[in-house]
Structure 1
C-alpha cells in the first residue's frame, strides 16, 4: 500500500512516515509542498491515501485539497493540521476529504485513522469536532458580569481593579470569581483565565 504524506515541517512528516513504515511496512512517499505532492501523484499510480498539511506552501486554504482530490484517481485524500478549526474540518469533509487529523493526535490513533481512511471510511476525531460546541456551551453559561470579571482576570487585574473598572463592590467581584471557578471547574483564578483562553471565551 502506497501513502503520500505532504507537510512542510520535516520532523512531523518524517515521524509519521517512519511510524507507518516501521509499524505497518507501508510504502510512504514524502513531499514538502503541494506542488511537490501533485508532481508525485501525477508521476505514479494513485496513492491509497494522501495526507495534506493544511498550511504548507501552495495549499491556498482548501483549494489545495480540491486540486489533490481531482488528480488522485478517486482515492482518499485527507487533511492534517495543527491550527485549523472545526469549521475548516467540516468544509474539507463536505468537499470530499476522507478525514481530518489534528497534529495533536497520538501516533497510534493517527495510524488507526490512516487504516480507517484507506478502507474507504471517513475519519474525524469526535473530541475535536465537538470541542467547539462545548466551548460555546460553557461561554453561554456565564452572565455578562461574569464575562467582564473573567476578562479582567485574564488581563492580570486584581479584584479591586476589576471592581473599579466595571463599577462593582470588591466583595461582589470576589463572589463572581468564586462562581467562575466553579463553572469552569478551575482550582483558582489563574487556571480559570487559562481555561477561558483555551476555549476562546475571552
Structure 2
C-alpha cells in the first residue's frame, strides 16, 4: 500500500506517519509539500491506495487542486485533512470528489478509524461539533442543525450518546470516565447498553456503525 500525504507542513506530514502505519505497518508513506509535488508523486506511485490532501498548500487554488488530482486518479480516495472546516468547505470538497474531510483537531485514533472507513468504500464527514464559524475567526463551534436522530441511535440515552461520541474519538474507558466525571465501571455498564441498542458486538464494531451511519451527538435542547 502507498499513501500520499500532501501538506506543506513537514511537522504535519511526519506526525501523521505513525497513525497511517496503523492502517498497514508496511505502508509506503509518500510526501508532497505542493500541488506540483503531489502530482509528480502520483505519477510515480503504481500502488497508491489513499491520498491525504491539505487544501491550503501552495498551488492548490482552492478546490482546483483536488479536481486535478481526481482527474489523474479517479479511483483513488482523496481525503481532505484541514485545520479549517466550515459546512460549506466540507460540502464543496465532497462534491468535488473528496472521499472524506477530517479536521486536524481530531485525535489520531479517530483519524485512523475514519480512514479505515474511507478505505472500505465509505465517505467520512466530520461531526458538526468540528465546524467552525468564519464570523468568529474560526474560534467558536457552530451549533449543529436540529435533525432527527436516526435509528437505532434514537434508543440511546443522553449519557449513552455522550459515551459513544467519546468512543468514536478513540478514547479509552478510563479517559471517558475522567472526561465525564464517572467511575470506569459505570462506563463499562453504559457501553454494554450502547452495544445492545445499536447492534454492535464490541467496541470496534460500535465505532464503525456510528461512522458509517453519519451519526453525530445531538445538541442539548434547552
* TM bracket, shorter-chain basis: 0.5 to 0.7
Q: Deviations over 1:85-104 (max 9, x none)?
A: 22011111112210001000
* Structure exhibiting the larger radius of gyration computed from Cα positions: 1
Task: State how far apart, in whole Å, the 2-side matches of 1:49 and 1:11 are.
Answer: 20
Task: State how far apart, in whole Å, the 1-side matches of 2:125 and 2:145 are.
Answer: 20
What aligned pairs does 1:19-38 form with structure 2 within 5 A after superposition? 19-21=19-21, 24-25=24-25, 26-38=27-39
Task: Output the aligned Cα RMSD.
Answer: 2.2
Contact 1:13 1:30 in 2 (8 A): yes
Q: Which ranges of structure 1 fall in alignment gaps of 5 or more residues?
A: 138-202
State the 4+ residue runs in structure 1 displaced beyond 4 angstroms. Answer: 128-133
Question: How much has 1:126 moved relative to structure 2?
Answer: 2.1
Structure ranking higher in helix proportion? 1
Task: State how far apart, in whole Å, the 2-side matches of 1:136 and 1:117 are.
Answer: 25
The equivalent of 1:166 in structure 2 is none
Q: Deviations over 1:40-76 (max 9, x none)?
A: 0012215211111010011100001100111124111
Normalised to the residue count of structure 1, the TM-score between the two structures is: 0.62
Q: Deviations over 1:112-149 (max 9, x none)?
A: 11111112110012234777662788xxxxxxxxxxxx
The equivalent of 2:46 in structure 1 is 45
Contact 2:103 2:130 in 1 (8 A): no
Q: Does 1:60 align with 2:61?
A: yes
Task: State how far apart, in whole Å, the 1-side matches of 2:119 and 2:23 are.
Answer: 16
Contact 1:54 1:84 in 2 (8 A): no
Contact 1:46 1:72 in 2 (8 A): no
